Structure formats: C-alpha cells, structure tokens
Amino acid sequence: MIVTTTELFKQAYGKYAIGAYNINNMEQAVGLFRGNLGKSGKNSDPVDNTKAAPFIIQISRGARDYSDTRILEGIIRACDEVFPEAIFAVHLDHGTEEVCYDCIKSGFYSSVMIDASHEEFEKNVEITKRVVDAAHEKGVVVEAELGQLGGVEEDVVGSVKLTRPEDAAKFIELTNCDSLAVAIGTSHGAFKFSGTQGLHFDVLTEIQKAVNAVKPNFPLVMHGSSSVPQEWVRRINIAGGHLAGASGVNEDEYFKASQLGVTKINIDTDGRLVWCATLREEFILHPEVFDLRPSGKVFMKNYADYIVHKNQKLGSAGSLADVTAALK
C-alpha cells in the first residue's frame, strides 16, 4: 500500500528512522520488497513480523531516465500487488522544480523532494514554497533541503555547508515543507570520511531544538547515509574491483540520530556495493555461465538480507504490524 512519507513519519518520529532506499530496476525492487517483509528467499515466503518494516522507495532523476520512468513505476505497481502487506511511500529523490511538477501531476508519487539547496536561502525558500503549494493541492508531501552535503548530488558538485539551526526553523516556517534534509556531516557516495570524522550530533541537537520550537515533532532527513560496509568493499576488491579508501556512516549512529528527530535515512550507495560484489563474485565463481538469471537471483537474496540488517540498525525492523494497524 502506497502512503505518504508524512504518514510514516507520524508513526516513527522519535522512536526509529524509516529507511529510504534508491532503486533503478526490477532486481532491486524485488529485493527491497522481500527484505522489508523479512523474506529472504521466495516472494511467497511468509512475512516475518519480527523483521518487517515500512519503507520509502526513492527514485532519482537518473533512475527515471535509466530506461523510462513508466517502466520503473510499472515494476513498483506490480510489486505492490505481489507483496500486498508492504507499506511504503514512493518518493522523488533530489528533484528539480520541473521534475517535481511532473511527479506531482503523475499521481503515482506520494512524496517529492525539491532540492534547491545549492541556491541562496531566499531563492531556496521561493522555489520550495512554489513546489509545496502545488504538491499540497494534490495531497503530495514535500521534502526540502537546507545546507550542503559534500560530494556529488546528481549534477551538482557540492562543498560542505552544515545547516544552521536558526535558518532551518525559519525555512520550515516560510516554506511549509513537510520534512527537511539537513547537512550534519554526511556526503553522497562511497568515500565519505577520511580519518575519524563522523556526524555532528551537536549541530543536529540544536537543529531539532530550533525546528521543534516552531513545529513540534518536525521530521528531519539524513542524506548520504550509506555505511559502505567494509566487508562488501573487501569482497569487491578481492573480485577484481578497485575501491581504495571507501568509507561510510557508522551504522550505530542511525538509531542515535533517530532519537534526535531524524525520521528518514537515505541509502543508495550500499545497494550498489551489494550489486557490484554479487555480480563480480558470481562471474568469477561460474565462468561458464552466461545466463543473467542465476546472478540476478543471488543479488535479490543478498539485497533482501542486507535490507533486513539495515532496518535492524534503523530500529524500524519489527514495526510493520503496528504501522499496518495504524494506517490500514
């Protein structure tokens, strides 16, 4: 069942974070649905309520263009039918104003992100406010971004600008956005930290205090949150890859962030690492195989297992039954 991110945030706020996972193809979609229902093997396996979690499917502009956005949407619609117990939001990741309007009009997305974080404060407010007004008219909710992560966001290369707490409070009042992505030390991709840097919990604490003074229980979002597991990086490198110095967010910090108002945690890179390691290993282990399905099956299982693990770290694992009772 497709719901808005706001409906999920109301259930999760202050208790755990909802995993927001980027997908591009059928294999990722199936692995994602299975994992969020606590299934590891077949679609028809029973739901494991000790592991099952609500989730957010993120579609980037790159994912929309990979083949044709209608094909990706068709896959998600089919998964909704195949996995009727799943509760999830369909969210545009890092949208421009134009793509936001396209998604709002489509009637398929329950949530969009307008990312004008590279603009000056006033311009960011102006663009975000226009998108919020258009989205709310259609029952779609909006995530905005203030501050700048390091690394690359789609086509924008950023240098870090941590979000200022007083600006965050002013921004959500002026724009009426439904959630806000804040920059607290993470960056996109597989090379986040060199040395011992980590998340700025001091800044996050101040942001939560400031935004809650104007809107209580306001959901914050953390982008660039892949943990870049060293085990997967090692497997990629052993199987012929070259990812030197890759590093990510400490997974134990997800839950800590969720206690400070972070209700959505974005993970894309980790899914790519699982894909890359799986395919490299499968080709080495079975050099005689040229059928795409055996490796695809292993990937779907590995990805589902990885999602279960992630949700355990986010604290959302095991919450689906309660969320279902509240929303259905």
Active site residues: 93
**Buried b / exposed e along 255-269 (16+ C-beta atoms within 10 A):** bebbebbbbbbbbbb
Alpha-carbon distances, residue 288 vs 83, 291, 292 (angstroms): 34, 9, 12
Confirm or reject binding of residue 179 to ligand 13P (CB under 6 A).
no
Confirm or reject binding of residue 153 to ligand G3H (CB under 6 A).
yes
Site for ligand 13P in 5-64 (CB under 6 A): 22
From candidates 63, 92, 203, 274, binder to ligand G3H by CB under 6 A:
63
Confirm or reject binding of residue 178 to ligand G3H (CB under 6 A).
no
Site for ligand G3H in 68-127 (CB under 6 A): 93-94
Find the shortest distance in angstroms from Cβ 149 to ligand G3H: 8
Confirm or reject binding of residue 266 to ligand 13P (CB under 6 A).
yes
Q: What contacts 7, CB < 8 A, 6 or more positions away?
A: 89, 327
Strand (E) or helix (H) holding 181: strand 179-182
Distance CA 280, CA 267 (A): 21
Q: How buried is residue 72: exposed, middle or buried, by Cβ count under 10 Å (0-12/13-18/19+)? A: buried
From candidates 5, 225, 319, 324, binder to ligand 13P by CB under 6 A:
225
Q: Which does 251 bind (CB under 5 to 8 A by kind): Zn ion, ligand 13P, ligand G3H, none?
A: none
Interface with ligand 13P (CB under 6 A), residue total 13
Six-digit token pair at 16? 């755990």
Report the residue number, 58 or 319, with the smaller CB distance to ligand G3H: 58
From candidates 223, 264, 301, 310, binder to Zn ion by CB under 5 A:
223
Phi, psi (5° rounding) for residue 5? -65, -35
Find the shortest distance in angstroms from Cβ 109 to ligand 13P: 15
Q: Which does 51 bind (CB under 5 to 8 A by kind): Zn ion, ligand 13P, ligand G3H, none?
A: none
Strand, helix or coil at 213?
helix
Six-digit token pair at 98? 């134009």
Q: Which does 154 bind (CB under 5 to 8 A by kind): ligand 13P, Zn ion, ligand G3H, none?
A: ligand G3H
Strand, helix or coil at 177?
coil
Confirm or reject binding of residue 280 to Zn ion (CB under 5 A).
no
Distance CA 109, CA 73 (A): 9
Q: How buried is residue 171: exposed, middle or buried, by Cβ count under 10 Å (0-12/13-18/19+)? A: buried
Place of tokens 């990722």: 28
Within 10 angstroms of residue 219's Cβ, the number of other Cβ atoms is: 25
Find the shortest distance in angstroms from Cβ 158 to Zn ion: 10
Find the shortest distance in angstroms from Cβ 153 to Zn ion: 6
Piece of the chain touching ligand 13P by CB under 6 A; list 36-44, 193-201, 219-227, 314-322:
219-227
Distance CA 328, CA 314 (A): 23
Strand (E) or helix (H) holding 58: strand 55-60
Find the shortest distance in angstroms from Cβ 123 to ligand 13P: 21
Report the residue number, 52 or 181, with the smaller CB distance to ligand 13P: 181
Residue numbers of the site for Zn ion (CB under 5 A)?
223
Residue numbers of the site for ligand G3H (CB under 6 A)?
22, 60, 62-63, 93-94, 153-154, 188, 268
Residue numbers of the site for ligand 13P (CB under 6 A)?
22, 93-94, 188-189, 223-226, 266-269
